[in-house]
Amino acid sequence: MVISRSECETLDEQDPLRDFRDEFTLPPGVVYLLGNSLGALPRRTAARVAHAVESEWGLHLGASWNTAGWWDLPQTTGDRIAPLIGAGPGEVLAGDSTSVNIFKAVTAALPLRPGRRVIISDLDNFPTDRYVVEGAAAALGDYEIRDIGTADGALRLEEALGDDVAMVLLSQVDYRTGASHDVAAVTAQVQAAGALMVWDLCHSAGAVPVDVSAADFAIGCSYKYLNGGPGAPAYIYVASRHHDDVRNVISGWHGHAAPFDFEPHYRPADGVRRFASGSPPVLSYTALNASLDIWERVDLRALRAKSVALTSLFIDLVDELCPGLTLASPRDADRRGSQVSYRHSDGYPVVRALVDRGVIGDYREPDIIRFGFAPLYLRHVDAYDAATTFAEVLSKELWRDEQYQRRLTVT
């Protein structure tokens, strides 16, 4: 073996991030490699949500809009996410879902480039991005969507970018393969062509270094690597240089300049606040803020180093234990997010068999087995145990058992 389990234990003892694992509740006997879909529960979250329910809501009721800071949650939470994505204060607003924020970003971006009628979208992106671009293009009318494919990590932007392109929407890290793009280089290329750059950070924030400071817009979710909980508020980044010129098409009263003047017509608030629409789900923000207390203390460079160490260790072990298996993720760590994927024509039952043995990964069509490595709470021994279980499931063909062939609703 390239490494023994006890050598992995030694690496865990030397890990500068090792204490963060105790911040999370993880089920016993499980290697949780699905933090790229739903992040683990921070221990402190339940008490924080209970306080918001029992005290802020139960005792103080509507006064909490002022006294508990409920009204400002979209901005205060956005300001806490900002350092994790390279944004400045006042450039990020937390709220809504990722899909809704994509709609807001696309419909805000396009009018900034009048006369340009093309949106570049990535057919390999998570489907909601493409679906929402279709909806936004139809709502605004007279836009063409130009598709590129990037799952192999190669961006073919050069031939797609022309003087008719208004904006480009890409994910920093591909949800299937974990391949990552160079945000600074791609942003520069897009802007040099006169277009605006919108990044989806769902699979990168909290997993790899993110710096959107040169980009025009970005959106992302907080329920994956940021541990905000199921359906946690998403976020939108709008570069401050655009603030005075952009319009939120869902121009609700929470984004109004003077919401409690109850004026008959919409006037946008200053800054990123104009991207607010309606009442925020306060309890979800509370859960997310509990997690952000932890994130505030994380050294993002150490996080990246650990992510590279865990994913590289897993790849090395699987190379040795499962010869012939096709790695779908880039071998070069510089081009990889915090995820390792393999191709297997029976990937679905393989994942079911793994889950049955306590190794929680998932499957994505058409043939991808995904393992997400959330560096904050995973250990080297987890990578070791996952690789040996994976090898056992494959070598003994345990996945052929009939019970693993049946599809669940949510895969």
Ligand X SMILES: Nc1c(O)cccc1C(=O)C[C@H](N)C(=O)O
Ligand Y SMILES: Cc1ncc(COP(=O)(O)O)c(C=O)c1O
Contacting positions for ligand Y (CB under 6 A): 97-99, 126, 128-129, 171, 175, 200, 202-203, 221, 234
Active site residue 224: yes
User: Whole-angstrom Cα distance, residue 88 to residue 153?
Assistant: 29
Indicate the residue type of 7: E
- Least distance from C-beta 234 to ligand Y, angstroms? 6
Q: Does 408 bind ligand X (CB under 6 A)?
A: no
Residue 373, marked binder: no
| Residue 363: active-site member | no
Task: Say if residue 230 carries a ligand binding annotation.
Answer: no
| Shortest separation between residue 111's beta carbon and ligand X, angstroms | 29
Question: What is the DSSP secondary structure assignment for residue 364, as one 8-state letter?
Answer: E
Catalytic residue among 370, 373, 382, 384: 370
Known catalytic residue at 370: yes
Per the annotation, the verdict on 223 as an active-site residue is yes
- Per 3-state DSSP, the chain is made up of helix, strand and coil in percentages (nearest 5) of 45, 15, 40
Query: How many other C-beta atoms can be found within 10 angstroms of the C-beta atom of residue 411?
Result: 11
- How many C-beta atoms surround the C-beta of residue 407 within 10 A? 10
Residue with token string 């062939």: 405
Q: Is 311 known as a binding-site position?
A: no
Q: Which of 124, 200, 362, 385 is catalytic?
A: 200
Please answer whether residues 392 and 323 qualify as being in contact, where contact means their C-beta atoms are separated by less than 8 angstroms: no
Pair of tokens at residue 54: 């029992």
Q: Decide whether 64 or 171 has the Cβ nearer to ligand Y.
A: 171
Q: Please indicate if the annotation marks 223 as binding a ligand.
A: yes
Whether 31 and 360 have beta carbons less than 8 Å apart is answered as yes
Q: Is 314 annotated as a binding residue?
A: no
200 part of the active site:
yes
Nearer to ligand X, 37 or 187 (CB): 37
Exposure string over 354-392, b if 16+ CB within 10 A, otherwise e: bbebebbbbbbeebbbbbbbbbbbbbbbbbbbbbbbbbb
Site for ligand X in 123-142 (CB under 6 A): 126
Q: Enumerate residues 157-216 that contact ligand X by CB under 6 A.
A: 175, 202
Site residues (vs ligand X, CB under 6 A): 37, 126, 175, 202, 410
Positions annotated as catalytic residues are 126, 200, 223-224, 370
Give the annotated binding-site residues for pyridoxal 5'-phosphate.
98-99, 126-129, 200, 203, 223, 253
